[in-house]
Amino acid sequence: MKFVDRRRELKQLDDFYHHPRAGLLIVYGRRRVGKTSLLSHWLDQIVAQSKLPANTSLFWTATTQGIQYQLRDFSQAVIRLDPRLPAPPAPDYSFPTWDAAFGYLADLAAMHSAKSPFVAVIDEFTYLVQSDPGIVGLLQRVWDHQLSRTPNLRLVLSGSLVGIMEKKVLSAQSPLYGRATSLLRLNPLPFGTLAELFPAWSSAERVALYSVCGGVPSYLALFDGTASFTRGLRAGALAPGSLMFSDAALLLNERLTDPFVYSSVLGSIASGYHIWTEIAKMAGVPETNLGHYLDTLQALGLVERRSPVLAGANTRRGRYHVRDPFLRFYYRFLLPHRTAIERGELARVTETIASDLRAFIGAYVFEELCREWVFYEADRGGLGFLPEEVGSFWAQQRGQSVQLDVVAASRRSKQLLIGEAKWGDKPVAREVLTDLVTRSQRMPQVPEGWQTHYVLFARAGFTDATREAARTLNARLVDLSELEQGLRASAEP
């Protein structure tokens, strides 16, 4: 799969490279998010633009081997870059200590000109920390006394074990705290980049793909080269041995000491149980203990608590949602069908998932993309006001349930945007718009004197009657093409 987007990240890397002083960059993010690809692409660009030989930078990947093995492997990688050596080192050669190895690295960097700094990337640094936690303190001493005084050195530490990176490298208790000259947390690709990766697919297929993979490049690569979403689902994501089956457990095992209860909580939320009491019941966790698990999952960025717009963060009507699209898909579809997939019943499982996925997309991913579009449209001035809060709304009002998919509010300008998201395969009828107006009037938190705007989002467009009603109400109609176009633009720097 080709390398796309990451323009902001590449600019940050270029700024780091061209800074006149020694630099220490920390790159971190969940596994499969593309850290190695990004750094490799960046180094290739440096070599191409500067017309430098390939051996003017170090890219070394730590492993789960013992610390002495890793020292020898690192020593071999470093010393082979020394142009002064008449022959390669003996296969068993190793520097006696990490101090000596890093000192040699500093000497190599000092040989470079200021116009072409020496880049040293230590990928999967967290594996090195697991092998020897003392490596962090050692690196701090070497950085303070030698590496930071080598102007032509650009040292990059990259890691996938986010918990270890945050605790051992980035926290105030870490010996390296305050040493980094630049931090880069790599997130999944935004939805807007998928059109470049899958240009032959329809917009609806790309939304379906995003509901399965999110923006994780390694998962998206499973669909690369396939003619359609359904074929890619069967041949890639559902194939026996697919990394999508093992990664959910790895994500939890790497970050939690007791992942089993957390997995049950995630599974309950992904299955549609969003209220505290419902989650506790489905996960088999006492309500009094559930807070600990939810707090931890929120701290890890796997779960978020959403409140109705204008209700305030402390409202008791908060609901919990799985933030990660892949985990949400895994617990909703992959895990329940795992036995059938392992038995080779791919045709039946693919048909079942494809059938159920429409409602799943409509209830979660499409609404989330519509809310993202609101942020983009507001930022470019298309809404006429800048909302301080974007989300949704739900309440029980006079014995009736009120549910509004997309709500944006500005207390400063006293303006409100209320929207409905429809993922059906038929053009949206006029009644949907008139019903939205009726339901919006049951929002109890809206003070008098506010101006209300309306917007409809639809996968399949709108009827002529709906367009006429929208003109009368001055409502905005956004079809899937316009939505995707806006999100593509928002992904650009």
Q: What is the pLDDT of residues 234-251, one digit of tens each?
A: 988 898 788 998 898 888
Strands 182-185 and 23-28: parallel
CA distances from residue 470 to 293, 353, 393, 433, 462 in whole angstroms, order as listed:
45, 35, 22, 8, 10
Q: In what order do the strands lie in the sheet with 400-410?
A: 389-397, 400-410, 415-422, 451-458, 476-479
CA 297, 302, 306, 312 torsion-angle sign:
positive
The terminus-to-terminus CA distance of the chain in angstroms comes to 22
Residues 121/59, Cβ–Cβ less than 8 Å? yes
Tell me which DSSP letter residue 33 carries: S
Number of H helices, E strands in the chain: 22, 12
pLDDT tens string 446-489? 778 899 999 999 999 999 999 999 999 999 999 999 999 999 99
What are the structural domains, with CATH classification, of the chain?
7-185 (3.40.50.300), 192-363 (1.10.10.10), 381-490 (3.40.1350.10)
Q: Which amino acid is at 234?
A: R
Our CA angle for 284, 287, 290, nearest 5°, is 80
Q: Which amino acid is at 440?
A: S
Residues 7/493, Cβ–Cβ less than 8 Å? yes
Q: Give the model's pLDDT for residue 52.
A: 65
CA distances from residue 188 to 59, 130, 154, 211, 406 in whole angstroms, order as listed:
23, 25, 25, 13, 23
Structure tokens at 242: 């697919």
User: What's the CA gap between 64 and 247, in Å, rounded?
Assistant: 18
The pLDDT profile of the chain, 493 residues, written as one tens digit per residue, is 778 889 999 999 999 999 999 999 999 998 899 999 999 999 999 888 876 666 678 999 999 999 999 999 999 999 999 988 888 899 999 999 999 999 999 999 988 776 789 999 999 999 999 999 999 999 999 999 999 999 999 999 999 988 889 889 999 999 999 999 999 999 999 999 999 999 999 999 999 999 999 999 999 999 998 889 999 999 888 987 889 988 988 888 888 878 999 999 999 999 999 999 999 999 999 999 999 999 999 988 899 999 999 888 778 889 999 999 999 999 999 999 999 998 989 999 999 999 999 999 999 999 999 999 999 999 999 999 999 999 999 988 767 788 999 999 999 999 999 999 999 999 999 999 999 999 998 887 677 889 999 999 999 999 999 999 999 999 999 999 999 999 999 887 6
Strands 23-28 and 389-397: unpaired
Q: Which helix (H) or strand (E) holds 468?
A: helix 464-473
Rg of the chain taking only CA atoms, in angstroms: 26
Q: Half-sphere exposure of 130 toward its Cβ, with a 13 Å CA cutoff?
A: 18
% helix / strand / coil in the chain, to the nearest 5? 50, 15, 35
Residues 385/378, Cβ–Cβ less than 8 Å? yes
Q: Which amino acid is at 100?
A: A
Q: Give the model's pLDDT for residue 206.
A: 98
**CB-based contacts of 110: which residues, under 8 Å, 6+ apart?**
150, 152
Q: Which of 217, 194, 216 is nearest to 204 (CA)?
A: 194
Q: Where are the alpha helices (DSSP H) in 55-186?
A: 67-79, 98-110, 125-131, 135-145, 162-164
Global pTM reads 0.92
User: What's the CA gap between 334 and 259, in Å, rounded?
Assistant: 18
Biggest distance spanned by C-alpha atoms of the chain: 86
User: What's the CA gap between 462 and 455, in Å, rounded?
Assistant: 12
Q: In what order do the strands lie in the sheet with 182-185?
A: 57-61, 118-123, 153-159, 23-28, 182-185
Q: Which helix (H) or strand (E) holds 452?
A: strand 451-458
DSSP-derived secondary structure for 190-240:
PGGGHHHH-TTS-HHHHHHHHHHHTT-HHHHGGGTT-SSHHHHIIIIITST
CA 325, 331, 337, 338 torsion-angle sign:
positive
Residues 183/170, Cβ–Cβ less than 8 Å? yes
Residues 290/280, Cβ–Cβ less than 8 Å? yes
3 state SS of 385 = coil
3 state SS of 322 = strand
